[in-house]
Chains A and B, each alone.
Chain A
Amino acid sequence: MAEVSLNGKALTGIKILAFCLALLPLGKLGVNAYLDNLGANPIEKITHVTGFWTLTLLMVTLAATPLRRLSGWNWPIRLRRMLGLFAFSYGSLHLLAYLVLDQFFDWDAIAQDIAKRPYITVGFPAFLLMVPLAVTSTDQMLRRLGGKNWLRLHRLVYPCAIGGVVHYWWLVKKDLSNPLAFASVLAILLGVRVAYRLGGPLFRRPKPARST
């Protein structure tokens, strides 16, 4: 597979575009909140929108590696950190919406929710798993941890994404089509990784060219 490298300028362009796209849902939410356009139950709307984009951005982040392997492009990896941090930001807003807007710091009710409501029992730790990933996202932390440890730590994104999808699945009352869509995407993204590990011909890593 031919390695397609983008020059610095093109990469910067893509980065700015991705940044704006990732910010768009938040902007839309803000504008609609300002215009009092969030419907009869704005708190529910804010919670749903931020949750949806947390999961969506997690999926996008997880798509970077398979995309590179299948296409040979390198630039998706260069966007991954930023999009991962966006996923974390939307996740934080989602949690804040729950803690502040939905429960208004009713710690009793919150503790009970975490202990007794399966979708929260699984969703809350799924969010917590994102925290160390966000904290260690800087170049400095990568150096301090060492590449191998860093990579190992960042595999936490797998249980995090699975937890997020299960959280959504268990929350829905009846119509499972949306959580099912997320579960399918996640299954494909993880499946590609498994297939690659098992070394299917399509996924064999191109031998790095050594210069001795």
Chain B
Amino acid sequence: MKNYHYPKIPAAEITPKHLFQARRKFLQTAGGAALAALLPQPLWAAGGFGEIKKSEFNADESLTPLQSVTSYNNFYEFGTGKDDPAARAGSLKTRPWTVSIEGEVKKPVTFDIDQILKMAPLEERIYRLRCVEAWSMVIPWLGFPLAELIKRAEPTGKAKYVEFVSLHDPQQMPGQKSAVLEWPYREGLRLDEAMHPLTLLTVGLYGEVLPPQNGAPVRIVVPWKYGFKSAKSIVAIRFLEQQPTTSWMQAGPREYGFYANVNPEVDHPRWSQAKERRIGEFLKRKTLMFNGYAEQVAPLYAGMDLARYF
């Protein structure tokens, strides 16, 4: 694939800003009302979180039902079947929980989960999630930009990459008793990707505390990359000078690259990435460049050959 170029949009197709915003407002209100009508009262009224900040990042798409979001998961720590995490993640103890900040930082520190929850105002972000297996969801996450945490750790000038390490405890995570992947699960981002305002440090979904099968108590969500980049149940965040080798790169270097940007033009070696099945829909839809977040993130990869850095 060539370098990514912004599509040229004819002037006629550009909605004037005030109309765009009015439409957004309407959709948000309508969506919010519909959601409020659908959900049982306690779920959104007594979600366990205080005030939720308004977010500017919301996909105007209908949400994937909570039931699907919490019952169809890839979380190999609990087994390789899609049903395994929901069935087996009950053994995960999410409190007490700490996340240690290590490596190239001026202030190595270990945060308690309660400190993290109070670190910055929580906001709801409705993001598309695209799995490398060509299915997708739309999920209302709760969290705040990972950049808020990174700023507090003060990475040194040497820090170029961030590595996320998930919990390794076969007692709590029975899937780790088999060596399908190299445990603990490791993922990574370039520092600028990690600092990007879209990269969300996530502690909840659908207004509730993150369920264990979705990566409790704290995970990241990187919406323009395939789902496996969004590390779950994080216990350490390491700042590194060199690009780390992630668990999936180790498992299949030809199939899972470090970047793993959603890209309809670069196929997985064994299947096409051009289309995806939105969970709950019958017909497949076209996969969007960077999962629809090209406007925000394409500059991060300016001049890069995305077929090589897949």
Q: Which one of A39, A101, A117, A171 contacts B71 once the chains associate, using CB atoms below 8 Å?
A: A39
**Residues on the B chain within 8 Å of A112, using CB:** 272
Interface residue ranges, A against B (CB under 8 Å): 39-41, 43-44, 101-104, 106, 109, 112-113, 116-119, 170-171, 173-175
Q: Per DSSP, are chain B's interface residues mostly helix, strand or loop, or mixed? A: loop
**Residues on the A chain within 8 Å of B76, using CB:** 174-175
Do A109 and B274 form a contact, CB below 8 Å, given A40-B71, A174-B251? Answer: yes
Q: Which one of A109, A119, A175 contacts B272 once the chains associate, using CB atoms below 8 Å?
A: A109
Do A41 and B279 form a contact, CB below 8 Å, given A170-B270, A175-B180? Answer: yes
Q: Are the CB atoms of B72 and A39 closer together than 8 Å?
A: yes
Q: Which one of B178, B180, B251, B280 contacts A40 once the chains associate, using CB atoms below 8 Å?
A: B280
Mask: chain B, 57-68; 1 = CB below 8 Å from A; 0 = not: 000000000011
Chain B proximity of A53: nearest CB distance (Å): 17
**Residues on the B chain within 8 Å of A41, using CB:** 72, 82, 135, 277, 279
A-B contact pairs, 27 of them (CB 8 A): A39-B72, A39-B83, A40-B68, A40-B72, A40-B279, A41-B72, A41-B82, A43-B277, A43-B282, A101-B282, A102-B284, A104-B283, A104-B284, A109-B272, A109-B274, A109-B275, A112-B272, A113-B271, A116-B267, A116-B272, A117-B270, A118-B270, A119-B270, A170-B270, A174-B76, A174-B80, A175-B76
Interface residue ranges, B against A (CB under 8 Å): 67-68, 71-72, 76, 80, 82-83, 133, 135, 178, 180-181, 251-252, 267, 270-272, 274-275, 277, 279-280, 282-284
Tally of A-B Cβ pairs under 8 angstroms? 54
CA separation between A43 and B284, bound complex, in Å?
Answer: 11
**Residues on the A chain within 8 Å of B270, using CB:** 117-119, 170-171
Chain B proximity of A86: nearest CB distance (Å): 25
Chain B proximity of A131: nearest CB distance (Å): 25
CA separation between A104 and B277, bound complex, in Å?
Answer: 12
CA separation between A41 and B83, bound complex, in Å?
Answer: 11
Q: Are the CB atoms of B272 and A40 closer together than 8 Å?
A: no
**Residues on the A chain within 8 Å of B68, using CB:** 40
Chain A proximity of B174: nearest CB distance (Å): 14
CA separation between A40 and B279, bound complex, in Å?
Answer: 6
**Residues on the B chain within 8 Å of A43, using CB:** 277, 282
Q: Are the CB atoms of B72 and A174 closer together than 8 Å?
A: no
Q: Which one of A117, A170, A174 contacts B180 once the chains associate, using CB atoms below 8 Å?
A: A174
**Residues on the A chain within 8 Å of B135, using CB:** 41, 44
Q: Are the CB atoms of A174 and B279 closer together than 8 Å?
A: no
